[in-house]
Amino acid sequence: MSLILLIEQVLNGLQFGVMLFLMSAGLTLIFGVMGLINLAHGSLYMIGAFAAAAVAGATGSFVLALAASLGAAAAAGAIIEVTVIRRLYDRDHLDQVLATFALILIFSEGTRWAFGSFPLFLDIPDYLSGPTTLPGGIQYPLYRLAIIVVGLAVAAGLFALIAWTRIGIQIRAGESDREMIGALGVNISRLYTLVFALGAGLAGLAGALIGAIQSVQVGMGEPVLILAFVVIVIGGIGSVKGALIGALLVGLTDTLGRFLLPVVFGAFMEPSAATSIGSALASMAIYILMASVLIARPRGLFGAA
């Protein structure tokens, strides 16, 4: 029994980690290529979820909803890149933090104005609802399994894009030397808009996929944004590989921490105290993980020295 429960929790952690990867891949690319710290990434996640909920409500199609989340978030990303973000590339981090914080305020209140304060609901389509039986007789929700598959597929696609395509070569070149690839005739501002829209689209997709499990509401992006920051700091800012490993590490630590810590404390304390201390510590676990990684390796696991 307990082993099955543990495997289930590991799968939950994996699903959470894969989601975090979709969020952090964009953040880390944007930082790696443009040197920009983007707090508004959580707003793009929210935009994706709202677009998906609106389209699913209008058409009833989950696939269209996912496409809409990608499209809407990528479009919103491209728009803010051209109007605001572009002016921030050569500013210091403080200005970037503030301007993107301002964007959060504008997006959150704008969405509240357009959709109201009540959460929207995005339903899991019939063909993905219900449990499925994994080898070993483990029952697991099909939708969560689908998220893991989609997330891993997107990760593989992203690695292929970066490793083998022309745009990937430009992205990698942009990470190591911005001026040089400009001098070699690459249209830098177009490349930047593209990278930003790509990251935004991934965040939007993550928002839509998670929106079907949780509710779609204003402010849903910020908690995920902070977790994504934890991920990229652990993985090393700018490294997509670091983001993947960091995301899985954070996903598993958080999920297993919540599951195991109360049990561990329960071994030598009375149950109610064990639950409260265990859950208090579990909610801090990933931040403790991040602080320890940074203290041991101030540039993250895969950060450039």
Give me the least distance between CB of 36 and other proteins, in Å please: 10
Nearest CB to other proteins, comparing residues 116 and 131? 116
CB of 271 to other proteins, least distance (A): 14
Helices (H), the chain: 2-34, 41-59, 62-83, 93-115, 142-164, 166-176, 178-183, 188-211, 221-235, 240-266, 271-296
Smallest distance from the beta carbon of 126 to other proteins, in angstroms? 36
Nearer to other proteins, 29 or 212 (CB): 29
Binding interface with other proteins (CB under 8 A): 31, 37, 84, 87, 93-95, 97-99, 101-106, 108-110, 112-113, 222, 226, 229-230, 233, 237, 276, 279-280, 283-284, 287-288, 290-291, 294-295, 298-300
Whole-angstrom Cα distance, residue 46 to residue 44?
5
We find the least distance from the C-beta atom of residue 201 to other proteins, in angstroms, to be 23
Please name the residues in contact with 144: beta carbons below 8 A apart, sequence gap of 6 or more.
Answer: 11, 12, 15, 213
Q: Is the dihedral of CA 179, 44, 299, 163 positive or negative?
A: negative
Going by the DSSP 8-state scheme, the letter that residue 35 receives in this structure is -
Q: How far is the CB of 147 from other proteins (least distance, A)?
A: 24
Identity of the residue, 141 or 199, whose beta carbon is nearer to other proteins in the bound complex: 199
Spatial distance between the Cα atoms of 288 and 305, rounded to a whole number of angstroms: 23
Local structure of 37: helix, strand or coil: coil
Rank residues 113 and 127 by Cβ distance to other proteins and give the closer one: 113
Nearest CB to other proteins, comparing residues 68 and 227: 227
